[in-house]
Structure 1
Amino acid sequence: MRLPLLPLLALSTALALAGCGSEKTVTASNESVSNVAKKVADAGLKFNPGRWESTMKFVKLEMEGMPPEAQAMMAKMMGKGRTFASCLTREEAEKPDAKFFGQADERCKYDSFAMGGGKIDAKMTCKSEHGAQTMTMVGAYTPDTYQMTMSINGKGPEGKAMSMQMEMSAKHNGECTGKEEGKAGAPG
């Protein structure tokens, strides 16, 4: 079973913003991913470049008509974290653009986006081959860490109703080593 993870990529990127002073704030309503990326860059909100280690954990997954084998597989995944590392270059950190936010730019828009004072609260709608999905993200960040809860509701494979909740956390861990799983894109 392939889960629609496109919105996760876009959102984890936006939420990984770090190094921001508490006086800087970005807000947006009904805007494209690229417009939000531009607002973040223009506001001077920056990422810490280098190696980021992230953990993603599924807390809940419900899907209409999920076969028993798939339910059993998902039950084993619940609560277990998957850890991975990525490398964010200084150039990517200084000037994130729409490409930084992945292909989600074409299919997703922020219904609302607020980031400042160490908090982030966003709602995004993405369109996929299965239909629309709505994602909400709530979290906190410091220059070297972030934690967030993401909830996704919409259509999964075969157009069936799906509801998913995940927790993500990440920390900046020094310089890139060249052994990271990802280069461009979100820390984590």
Structure 2
Amino acid sequence: MRAALSLIPVMLLAACGDGPSVDKKNASTAEVAQSVADAGMKLKPGRWEMTMKFDRLEVEGMPAEARQTMQQMMGQSRKFASCLTPEEADKPDGSFFGQQGEDCRYDSFTMGGGRIDAVMTCKGKGEDAGSSARMKLAGTYSADSYDMTMDMDGTAPNGKAMSIRMAMASRHAGACKGDETS
């Protein structure tokens, strides 16, 4: 789940129309960040308000009580806000585009012309050792908004299969207010 949420900042990239594009294969998060920066794509600083909705969350062997709780959450939206400083917007590093190091790599990353498509594979370390995930991200973006769908299939640290589908929509909401969660 942490890996899935780590993809959110990459969706905040602001570029319009037929402007710059990035097309990477088998690349680290740092390489993607550098390619985005080299292409002149900049993040729009300020407050971003996001709505996230889980459409599917399945974990093999999940106890009945936990499954019932998850089913009640399905289809419900969660809202939160984040603040991106001008400094972060001007110089995003690899950590901004997901987990750094060899834990996660983009199998493919294509962004341009208002569309983004990416596939990332992550392998857990430390307390998450034994876990793995493959995430597919697809959607549209502009300077002031994005709408994305993320599908993730993987294995939890206990070896059980899991599958998640969520939709995310975000809008730039002006200046930061100081009450953002990140």
Tell me the TM-score range normalised by the shorter chain.
over 0.9
CA deviation string 1:126-167 (max 9, x = no partner): 011232210000010010000100000010252200111000
SS at match of 1:7: helix
Q: CA deviation at 1:33?
A: 0.4
AA partner of residue 105 (structure 2): K
1:88 aligns with 2:84: yes
Q: CA deviation at 1:21?
A: 4.8
Structure 2 partner of 1:168: 168
Distance 1:117 1:130 in 2: 37
AA partner of residue 88 (structure 1): L
Distance 2:97 2:162 in 1: 24
In structure 1, runs of 5+ residues without a counterpart are 183-188
* CA distance 1:93–1:21, change in 2 (3 Å): farther
Q: CA deviation at 1:19?
A: 3.5
- TM-score w.r.t. structure 2 length? 0.93
AA partner of residue 61 (structure 2): G
Contact 1:56 1:166 in 2 (8 A): yes
The within-5 A match list for 1:124-163 is 124-128=120-124, 129-163=129-163
AA partner of residue 124 (structure 1): M
- TM-score w.r.t. structure 1 length? 0.90
AA partner of residue 141 (structure 1): Y
SS at match of 2:70: helix
AA partner of residue 79 (structure 1): G
CA deviation string 1:65-119 (max 9, x = no partner): 01001101100110111100010001111111113235x1121000000000000
Structure 2 partner of 1:55: 51
Q: Root-mean-square deviation (CA), in Å?
A: 1.2
1:72 aligns with 2:53: no
The within-5 A match list for 1:27-46 is 27-46=23-42
CA deviation string 1:1-36 (max 9, x = no partner): xxxx22223311212211445221001000000100
In structure 2, runs of 5+ residues without a counterpart are none
Moved over 6 A (4+): none
